[in-house]
Amino acid sequence: MIYLKTQEEIELLRENNILVSQTLAELAKYMKPGITTLELDRIAEDFIRSHGALPGFLGYNGFPNTLCISVNEQVVHGIPSDYVLKDGDVVSVDCGTFMKGFYGDTAYTFAVGTVADKTAELLRVTKEALYKGVAQAKAGNRVGDIAAAVQEHAERHGFGVVRELVGHGLGRRMHEEPEVPNYGARGRGPLLKEGMVICIEPMINMGTKQVVFERDGWTVRTKDRKPSAHFENAVAITKNGPDVLSDYAIIEQAIKQQQQ
């Protein structure tokens, strides 16, 4: 069942996704060598609670923390720990909120200090792939149009597209229908309709597309242990085209301020 949202509901989803984006912007200040991923998790939890929301991931299917933090070869669902960030790391931070009956779900992959050129390219291409997917999020298109746009862009650069994990509808539940894969064929899959809200979230590997599920029950990593990147936007399908509910501008402004 795909739930279509009213404009009022879309605005509540926007509030949530802006708060998640603000949380990620706050974390950008601390994304430096020497901090542990568990410290980042505490900062995010305090920030979310002080803004009147609940961490959306904490306790979700038993997940133990506020953030999924996935470093380097970790793809998604990494558990915050005493791991200390170092120069050259890439850190995927996936964050959720729950407020006013709706969820927020947005992710960004940060570079710590100076990363290898090829790694910087992986981050750039993965974010571009997200934007290519978002551009297809229009009423009358199908989920396969999004999926194919993401896949083609990543593979054109020789990167691997993860198959096992997919985007999803977002609303009163964190994961609603439809599934939104990052691979597929144009013109296939569920029809996109005005009022749908979906999360588009490419998970792109530098090397093989194959992944391994770690024994902690959560962490997904690349099979070849090469780096992976993950970017996620929540997007509403409207009569005026895609309405992006996440806000990368405030995250990237915060990153720039740290670099000055």
Give Rg (Cα) of the chain: 17
What is the closest distance, in whole angstroms, from the C-beta atom of residue 106 to Mg ion in the complex? 7
Closer by beta carbon to Mg ion, 107 or else 148: 107
Q: How many CB atoms sit inside 10 A of residue 8's CB?
A: 8
Gap between the terminal Cα atoms of the chain: 48
User: For residue 178, is the peptide bond before it cis, meaning its omega torsion is within 30 degrees of 0?
Assistant: yes
- Residue 248 half-sphere exposure, CB side, CA atoms within 13 Å? 15
Angle at 125 between CA 228 and CA 151, to 5 degrees: 80
Compute the distance between CA of residue 71 and CA of residue 90 in angstroms, rounded to an integer: 6
**C-beta of 89 vs 105, nearer to Mg ion:** 105
**By CB under 5 A, is residue 197 in contact with Mg ion?**
no
Q: Do residues 110 and 31 make contact, with C-beta atoms less than 8 angstroms apart? A: yes
Show the tokens assigned to 41: 């998790």
Nearer of residues 152 and 179 to Mg ion, judged by Cβ: 179
Give how many residues touch Mg ion by CB under 5 A.
Answer: 5
State the alpha helices, DSSP H only, in 95-190: 117-135, 143-156
Binding to Mg ion by residue 176, rule CB under 5 A?
no
Minimal distance, residue 86 CB to Mg ion, in Å? 25
The torsion of the CA quartet 209, 97, 145, 223, rounded to 10 degrees, works out to 0
Minimum separation from the CB atom of position 260 to Mg ion (A): 29
- Of positions 199, 211, 229, 235, contacts Mg ion by CB under 5 A: 199
Q: Which two tokens stand for residue 34?
A: 């020497």
Residues 86-125 that bind Mg ion (CB under 5 A): 94, 105, 107
Minimum CB–partner distance for residue 116 and Mg ion (Å): 25
Comparing CB distances to Mg ion, the nearer of 94 and 247 is 94
Residue 103 or 159 having the CB closest to Mg ion? 103
Q: Which is nearer to Mg ion, 137 or 257 (CB)?
A: 137
Q: Build a one-symbol-per-residue string for 21-50: x at contacts with Mg ion by CB under 5 A, - elsewhere.
A: ------------------------------
The closest of 159, 176, 158 to 167, measured between CA atoms, is 176
Nearest to Mg ion of 10, 199 (CB atom): 199
Antiparallel, parallel or unpaired: β 74-76 and 228-230: unpaired
Considering only residues 132-161, where is the footprint of Mg ion by CB under 5 A?
Answer: none
Whose structure tokens read 């720990």? Answer: 81
Under the criterion CB under 5 A, does residue 243 sit at the interface with Mg ion? no
Least distance from Mg ion to the Cβ atom of residue 174, Å: 7
Q: Which residues bind Mg ion (CB under 5 A)?
A: 94, 105, 107, 199, 232
